[in-house]
Amino acid sequence: MWNFIKQLFIWWDGQTLGTRFFTWRKGNSVGKDEFGNQYYETKDSAKRWVVFNGPAEGSAVPPGWSSWLQHRSNTPPSQEKYTAKVWEAPHIANPTGTQNAYRPAGSILSRNPKAAEPDYEAWSP
């Protein structure tokens, strides 16, 4: 019962009931990424969407799938042989709002709060 209520009202935690119905009616599964997200498209490839495994977080979509979702490539990453370049870093989700978020010197949330050093010195003639 709780899952049904969540699917009716909570869009940020998985898929809603409308998305589940549309996926069941018109969606063709294209693949799954390493995070467990499922990717779908319509038969004519006009619409493409993702059903997140957990909270809906746009930064949890890897670069190859992101380009496929935005129609920059026609071949999904599940159907092509992809090897990362040596200079490419592995994908990580956006850390904003977590303990791993960037906190500059002088921030009250930094691990070692101290006064920020000025970026310039005042000129005196």
- Average pLDDT over the chain, rounded to an integer: 81
| CA nearest to 14, candidates 62, 57, 69, 78 | 57
Buried b (16+ CB within 10 A) or exposed e, 48-68: bebbbeeebeeebbbebbbeb
Q: How far apart are CA 11 and CA 20, in angstroms?
A: 11
| Global pTM value | 0.67
The string of pLDDT tens digits covering residues 42-91 is 988 889 999 888 888 888 888 888 889 999 988 898 888 877 778 877 77
Residue 2 pLDDT > 70: no
Assign 98 a pLDDT band (cuts: 50, 70, 90).
Answer: confident
**Residues 6+ positions from 73 with CB-CB distance below 8 Å:** 64, 67
